[in-house]
A and B are shown apart, each in its own frame.
Chain A
Amino acid sequence: SQTIHQWPATLVQPVGSPLSLECTVEGTSNPNLYWYRQAAGRGLQLLFYSVGIGQISSEVPQNLSASRPQDRQFILSSKKLLLSDSGFYLCAWSGRTVHEQFFGPGTRLTVL
């Protein structure tokens, strides 16, 4: 069966520090991968999605970036965090023929 992992689960970082959140998927190949951000009590904002290694599409211009160095690995990064980057970050995957999205457990990021 497929599983999706995210780490860390919780992160507290100072303004201006770098960020690296990692997501990996097991049990499937060539998935579509997604990064979302969710503000407290709000909906999901799509940040990035990827249909293959090295292929990244950005939905929202910001100081975040994403990379996909391996088929089942998706990384969200920032060189300098802003206060507004605080939120709950969710990684998700979907298959080519299975149309549901499956979500990881999320990372709660607090920027101080």
Chain B
Amino acid sequence: AQTVTQSQPEMSVQEAETVTLSCTYDTSESNYYLFWYKQPPSRQMILVIRQEAYKQQNATENRFSVNFQKAAKSFSLKISDSQLGDTAMYFCAFMNPSTSGTYKYIFGTGTRLKVLA
């Protein structure tokens, strides 16, 4: 069975600094997708970034980028120039599309990030 592990329950970073959140996963599949979601205090889940396993290039979305190491099954999120609005819970997620069209997502337990002024 696939698993997703986020080993950092809580982290903090000074405003304008850079922080990296860790995520590892376990799968025997070769075709899959990885995601980072942000859940601010409003509890609305927001997609931050996605990575297709077949792409070697690391995904980037503005201040957010990933370090995808397929062999090591690692998928870390780097937030540059941290802002107060980045304070949230961050979830790493894995999805392996089945041939039946069923997409089941496996979520990690989350990392609570606090950006300090």
Q: In the docked arrangement, what's the CA distance between A43 and B112, Å?
A: 11
Instruction: Bits for A65-98, please: 1 = Cβ < 8 Å to B, else 0.
Output: 0000000000000000000000010101010100
Q: Are A99 and B103 in contact (CB under 8 A)?
A: yes
Q: Are B47 and A100 in contact (CB under 8 A)?
A: yes
Q: In this assembly, does A44 line the interface, its C-beta being within 8 Å of a C-beta of chain B?
A: yes
Contacting residues, chain B, for A92 (C-beta < 8 A) = 45
Prevailing SS type, chain A contact patch: strand
Q: Are B44 and A106 in contact (CB under 8 A)?
A: yes
Q: A43-B108, A100-B50 are in contact. Are A32 and B103 (CB under 8 A)?
A: yes
Instruction: Bits for A17-53, please: 1 = Cβ < 8 Å to B, else 0.
Output: 0000000000000001010001001111010010100
Interface residues of B in 70-117 (CB under 8 A from A): 89, 91, 93, 95, 97, 100-105, 107-110, 112
Q: In the docked arrangement, what's the CA distance between A106 and B42, Å?
A: 10
Contacting residues, chain B, for A103 (C-beta < 8 A) = 37, 44-46
Instruction: Bits for B42-76, please: 1 = Cβ < 8 Å to A, else 0.
Output: 11111100100000000000000000000000000
Contacting residues, chain A, for B35 (C-beta < 8 A) = 100-101
A54 CB, nearest partner CB in chain B, Å: 15
Q: A100-B35, A106-B43 are in contact. Are A46 and B91 (CB under 8 A)?
A: no
Q: In the docked arrangement, what's the CA distance between A102 and B110, Å?
A: 17
Q: Are A51 and B101 in contact (CB under 8 A)?
A: yes
Contacting residues, chain B, for A94 (C-beta < 8 A) = 103, 105
Contacting residues, chain B, for A106 (C-beta < 8 A) = 43-44
Contacting residues, chain B, for A90 (C-beta < 8 A) = 45
Contacting residues, chain A, for B89 (C-beta < 8 A) = 41
Interface residues of B (CB under 8 A from A): 33, 35, 37, 42-47, 50, 89, 91, 93, 95, 97, 100-105, 107-110, 112
